[in-house]
Structure 1
Amino acid sequence: MSVESFRTRIAQITGQIAGRPIDAALDAWLNAEHGAGSASYAQLKQSCEQGVAEGWLCNREGGGLRYGRIFKPADDLDGFSVDVVDMRDIAGPHHAHPNGEIDLIMPIDDGALFDGRPAGWLVCPPGSAHRPTVSNGRALVLYLLPAGSIEFTK
């Protein structure tokens, strides 16, 4: 898996969600079409696991987290930025999503949860905020941020 192949795989998803409201309906659609158990979910998870193993994903570390913005917002990604975080039984820094946030939850350990949710997608609407938390083990979380917009709380 190359970085370019990963970008193409992500663009297949962003192309399908571009222009849709970032809301509960998108959450339901993503989980129905690309949720845990789907081929697209399995491919994305395998790509992320491989990227972490090869060192081009989650190549920064701080506060008990491994993380990294792999792609800045771009036209071929329909204006989304792409980050991946590797978390194990930890709460990350509190932040807000001015334009919303679309998360792909990929448990590495069986039963690992992200913000109380199992494997699949979590859509946080514009204006929402949270302290992202992985419990019950380790998970990778892929974040799609419209226009790359995120505001960390001091």
Structure 2
Amino acid sequence: MSPTEFRGQIARLTAHIAGRPLDAALDAWLNAEHGAGSATYRELKAACEAGVAEGWLCDREGGGIRYGRIFKPAADLHGFSVDVVDMQDIAGPHHTHPNGEIDLIMPVEGEARFDGRPAGWLVCPPGSAHRPTVTQGRALVLYLLPEGRIDFTR
């Protein structure tokens, strides 16, 4: 797996979600069509695990969280940026999502949950806020941010 191959995987997915509202309907659709157990989920999880192992994903660390923005928003990614975090039984910094956020939750140890959700997708609507929290183990979480927008709370 390479960053270029990973970008291709993301671009194929974002082609299906571009222009859709970030809401409960998108959350349900992603989990039904690309959720845990699907080929898309397995491929993205394998790519993220390889990227972490090879050092091109989650190449920074702060406050006990490994993280990194692998791709800035771009036309081929349909305006989404791509970040991946590696978290184990920890809460991250509070932030808001001006344009919403789409998260792929990939447990790697235990029965890890992200904001209480198991493996699969979580769609946060525009204007939502949270303190991203992983409990019950370790998870990789892929973030798709429209226009790369995220505002950390001071």
| Length-normalised TM-score, structure 2 | 0.99
> Which runs of at least 4 in structure 1 moved beyond 3 Å after TM superposition?
none
Aligned twin of 2:18: 18
Secondary structure of the residue aligned to 1:14 is: helix
Q: Secondary structure at the match of 2:129?
A: strand
Match of 1:28 in 2: 28
Taking the aligned partners of 2:110 and 2:65, their CA distance within structure 1 comes to 19
Partner of 1:105: 105
The corresponding residue for 2:133 is 133
| SS at structure 1 position matched to 2:88 | strand
- Unpaired stretches in structure 1, ≥5 consecutive residues: none
Match of residue 72 from structure 2: 72
Q: Within the alignment, does 1:7 sit opposite 2:30 as a pair?
A: no
Identity of aligned residues (%): 79
Structure 2 unmatched runs, 5+: none
Q: Could you tell me how far 1:109 is from its partner in structure 2?
A: 1.3
Quick one: distance in 2 between partners of 1:40 and 1:151? 29
The offset of 1:91, in angstroms, is: 0.1
Give how far 1:110 is off. 3.1
**Deviation digits for residues 93-117 of structure 1 (CA, Å, limit 9, x no counterpart):** 0000000000000000131000000
Distance in 1 of aligned mates of 2:40 and 2:63: 31
Q: Distance in 1 between matches of 2:110 and 2:16?
A: 29
Q: Which residue of 2 aligns with 1:85?
A: 85
